[in-house]
Amino acid sequence: MTVVTAVGSRPLRPRRPTVPRIGWIGTAILGGFAALAVAAPLLAPYRATALSGRPLEPPSLAHLVGTNAVGQDLFTQLLSGVRAAMFVAVVAGSGAALLGGSIGVLAGWWGGGVDLVVMRAADVLLVIPRLPLLIVIVAYAGPGLGTRSTVIALTFWPEAAKVLRAQVRSLRHRDHLTAATGFGAGPSHSLRRHVVPEVGLVLASALVAAAGRAVMLEVGLAFLGLGDPNQASWGSIVRDALKFQGLFFTRAWAWWLLPPLLATGLLLAGITFIGLAAERWVNPRLARHVSGGRP
Amino acid sequence: MRWRVVMTSAVTLLAVVTVVFALPRAMPGDPLAALQDRSTATPISPEASAHLRSYYRLDRPLGSQYGHYLSRLARGDLGWSISRNVPVRTLVAAHLPWTLLLLGTSMAVAAATSFLAGVAAAWRRGRPLDRGLLATMTALRALPPYALAAFLLVVLAVLLPVFPLAGARTPFAAYGSPLGAVGDVGRHLVLPAAALGLSLLSTRFLLVRNTMVSSLGQDYMVLGRAKGLPPRLLKYRHGGRNALLPFVASLGVEAGFGVGFSILVESVFAYPGMGTLILRAVETRDYPVLEGAFLALALTVLSVNAAAELVMRRLDPRVAGR
């Protein structure tokens, strides 16, 4: 990505810090989950709903993660959960970041009345409890994965909007933009050529944050019973396990309850790591601040 | 100006109420169509359908429906539960106190812990204490509340049965004294409150740590040091006090997240608060209960937010001037 500073001058590149190791760990985790999601139909040994074993079988070669109370293979269900989580991370995450990002960029650029109205709306959304709101909307709109992703994107855009609006407002009156306007650049040219490239990294970091939130919400909604009944999600596995009355009187919690939670935690850790690395990249000053290097 | 805080909250509340009103009406289809369908087992008669239509005021224009809805809410009438056949208000009144107890406890503990930890980490910036706290908080940030709750449940109620598995009270317990009752409720509260508190900890910690780091670099800290003030005074009275403002300001937003998290945590522990109410309402698709629960929670969060705003103005008159 080039940072264009002024017409004719050599692009001035700030020295980029290298991607910290934590970023590579995060990328590896996320890449692993993406590969699992793509390969899930090939890897899944059974159909997700098939009664392929005896109830509550412990892990074995036939059932890598054991079976649940009705004898369904939990490994197959976990794979289905990978797909659900990755789908929501990509669709709802990019939906929320792009929607919020465009709103933020336009509000920051235009200012005035548009800015006021849009940011008031964002404030309202930020201050009301959004998980209960999400529950009510999903209860009406239906629990399909696509519907849930859309609703998540529509409720969780303000975070990205706030960040990008602030970024654009700080760019708005920089000299090179005034120069561009002086040379006759219209708003669409300035936005496309000067603003969007410079907020790209901030948008990427907002995207990572939104993806993490989306996964947390997808699993949470499925856990509350607002998941797609036809596709197992990590949340719905946890819900089934906790609804099973005798869970803690057997050892079944070890292979029924824990794996989906560990998977969720691992994926979210991967996304958080990438987010930390991105934050450091976007704002090295802040990163020095946070990571604790002596001034 | 105080009325301004009240006005903002009132406008936000109106927006929330309007969304709840508009949502079912924006959905495609007619709510009575399925009941009238001749091909189903129990179609209702046209007379019954007309009665229902006028009972729910679906034959009126939208404006009149909205006015009626607002006046009902103003009288505290949240509607009637479809699945349990009791007023929604009764259900909310029975469940909200438990959520408030859980949320209040964990927010208070999380606020105190995150403030002290944030100040301590900033004070020893870059040292092992700071690095350890940062790593812990990052790990906590990655764990969703239901996962934290389930891990605590497995470790402290199943493997080491120290705390009870579920609920808010021992069923059918006869307490010898009021103290016994308090102790029992407290024992049941520990794990849910710990799960909720831990998931609320990390954001606040990072906020306090970062404001504290920047306030430690200010001139008045150098002056304080030059005057020979004892470190404890420098740390809390000069540094910490200035890191307090953004912290208080963020309490309202924290309440919003806390309410959402508490729904998830309660579901893990079958804690009888709003989360359990919402869970049952989701299972039976009891829309009036869902809407009533959401409105009650929104009102709670907006009150906390307004209170935080008023405290902020008291702490820092510059905010009120803006």
DSSP for B46-85 reads: HHHHHHHHHHTTTTS-HHHHHHHHHHHHHTT---B-TTT-
Position B10 in a domain: no
Position B7 in a domain: no
DSSP states along A79-126: HHHHHHHHHHHHHHHHHHHHHHHHHHHHHHHH-HHHHHHHHHHHHHHH
CATH number reported for the structural domain that contains residue B202 in this entry? 1.10.3720.10
Position B227 in a domain: yes
Q: Which residues of chain B register pLDDT less than 50?
A: 322
Residue B180: which domain range?
Answer: 93-320
Say which of A128, A141, A268 has its CB closest to residue B301: A128
Judged by CB atoms within 8 Å, which residues 26-45 of B form the interface with A?
Answer: 27
CA distance B292 to A135: 12
Give how far A238 is from chain B: nearest CA, Å.
9
pLDDT at position B321 is 57
Query: Given the structure tokens 């002024």, which residue do they identify?
Result: A6
Position B49 in a domain: no
Give residues with Cβ within 8 angstroms of A290, minimum separation 6.
Answer: A279, B134, B206, B209, B210
Give residues with Cβ within 8 angstroms of A125, minimum separation 6.
Answer: A155, A157, A158
Interface contact B147-A242, CB threshold 8 A: no
CA distance A200 to A164: 10
CB contact B23 to A (< 8 Å): yes
**What value, to the nearest 5°, has the Cα angle with vertex B258 and ends B306 and A292?**
95
Interface test with B, best of A137, A148, A151, A242 (most B CBs within 10 A): A242
Beta bridge partners of A72: A51
Phi, psi of A72 (to 5 degrees): -85, 145
Phi, psi of B11 (to 5 degrees): -65, -40
Say which of B23, B146, B165 has its CB closest to residue A238: B146
| Shortest CA distance from A250: residue in chain B | B158
Give residues with Cβ within 8 angstroms of B153, minimum separation 6.
Answer: B165, B191, B268, B269
Residue A67 DSSP SS3: strand
Residues of A in contact with B147 (CB under 8 A): 261, 264-265
Judged by CB atoms within 8 Å, which residues 133-172 of B form the interface with A?
Answer: 134, 138-139, 141-147, 150-151, 154, 157-158, 165
Token couple for A170: 């700080």
Per-residue pLDDT tens digits for A208-267: 889 988 998 888 888 888 888 778 888 888 888 888 777 777 777 777 788 888 888 889
Residue A10 DSSP SS3: coil
- Evaluate if pTM is beyond 0.95: no
Say which of B217, B256, B267 has its CB closest to residue A130: B256
Residues of A in contact with B282 (CB under 8 A): 135, 139, 224-226
CA distance A21 to B220: 38
**What value, to the nearest 5°, has the Cα angle with vertex B198 and ends B315 and B271?**
105
Say which of A129, A248, A261 has its CB closest to residue B260: A129
Give residues with Cβ within 8 angstroms of A70, minimum separation 6.
Answer: A51, A55
Phi, psi of B161 (to 5 degrees): -70, 75
pLDDT at position B319 is 67
Domain total for chain B? 1
Residue A72 DSSP SS3: strand
Token couple for B132: 């350890």
CB B281 within 8 A of CB B290: yes
Sign of CA dihedral B98, B101, B104, B105: negative
C-beta neighbour count of B297 within 10 angstroms:
29
| Shortest CA distance from A122: residue in chain B | B12
Q: Which residues of chain A register pLDDT less than 50?
A: 1-9, 287-295
In b/e form, how buried is each residue of B23-38, taking b as 16+ CB within 10 angstroms? Answer: beeeeeeeebeeeeee
Position B41 in a domain: no
Identity at B104, one-letter amino acid code? G
pLDDT at position A5 is 47
pLDDT at position A293 is 40
Per-residue pLDDT tens digits for A130-151: 888 888 888 888 888 888 899 9
Interface contact B150-A220, CB threshold 8 A: no
pLDDT at position B312 is 82
Query: Given the structure tokens 């990978």, which residue do they identify?
Result: A82
How much is the ipTM here? 0.83
Token couple for A117: 């109205």
Residues of A in contact with B255 (CB under 8 A): 129
Interface contact A135-B12, CB threshold 8 A: no
CB A284 within 8 A of CB A17: yes
Residues of A in contact with B294 (CB under 8 A): 129, 132-133, 135-136
Closest alpha carbon to A283 in A177, A215, A206, A230: A206
Token couple for B174: 């006869």
Judged by CB atoms within 8 Å, which residues 173-192 of B form the interface with A?
Answer: none
DSSP state of A57: P
Per-residue pLDDT tens digits for B243-264: 888 888 788 778 888 888 988 8
Residue B147's H or E segment, with its range, is helix B145-153
Residue B218 Rama label (left phi>0; alpha psi -120 to 50; beta): beta
Position B66 in a domain: no
Position B121 in a domain: yes
Position B295 in a domain: yes
Identity at A52, one-letter amino acid code? S
